[in-house]
Amino acid sequence: MNFPESLFELRRDRGLSQEDLASQIGVSRQAVSKWETGEAMPDLNKLLLLADALEVSLDRLCGKAESLTEPLSTAPTAKKKSLWPILCGVLAILVVLLLLQTAHLYKEKKRENDAPIQVNIAEATFSSATGHILSYRIIPSEICPDDTYKLLLTPATPIAGVPNPVSLDTTSGLFQGELAFPLTASQWTVALQVEHGEKTYIVPVAANLHYTFDRRVSWDPVT
């Protein structure tokens, strides 16, 4: 007799419906139905719960006993007890494997974060919108969603009341917008700061960024 047949007979002999048995072990009635028709098999934990609910050993539940109609008082309780050391051993092995897998994933992630990256600038444009408003568009060659990006604008000569450097943040890695550009500063340098894991990279973008006399913006690209 196989497991589906054994499960069906044991449940029927004890006057339990599929729904009753499912409620006792915390599964759906459909799960019990699939076990009895052979469409699915329960895992080890569910097998133990089934054996306890039906008050039989795993051998009898799996159809390996010679008789499934013996009185319940004759069930081999010694075999039930002997399963606990085996189950504890299996659980201990699973815990060790899980810890090893977690340690491996942590090392792989750390190695990935510690690995040097190559960041270039795919596009860097500056223009004068109106007055002294600077329009900018900076796009890195590669954007990693786990990295943090900042655009740093540093004046050649510090300006009172202006942060040094001026730092612009973005959540996408793409920098595009407008900035009030102090005309009192003759030249600025522009750099991209990338925080990758525990490392910080500074990627030059432009040098000598300034306004010309005819209110146009000029800069020297850095490659």
Both tokens assigned to 41: 């098999």
Q: What is the pLDDT of residues 154-163, one digit of tens each?
A: 888 887 777 8
Q: What is the pLDDT of residues 78-99, one digit of tens each?
A: 555 577 888 888 899 999 999 9
Number of other CB atoms surrounding residue 139 within 10 Å: 15
Give the span between the Cα atoms of 220 and 223, in whole angstroms. 10
Dihedral angle of Cα 50, 56, 60, 65, to the nearest 10 degrees = -170
Q: Say if pTM beats, i.e. exceeds, 0.85.
A: no
**Rounded mean pLDDT of 129-152?**
82
Higher pLDDT, 146 or 67: 146
pLDDT for position 182: 64
- Contact between 155 and 123 under an 8 Å Cβ cutoff? The reply is no
Give the span between the Cα atoms of 172 and 184, in whole angstroms. 31
Q: How far is CA 155 from CA 10, 51, 166, 172, in A?
A: 84, 77, 9, 25
Higher pLDDT, 98 or 117: 98
pLDDT for position 195: 87
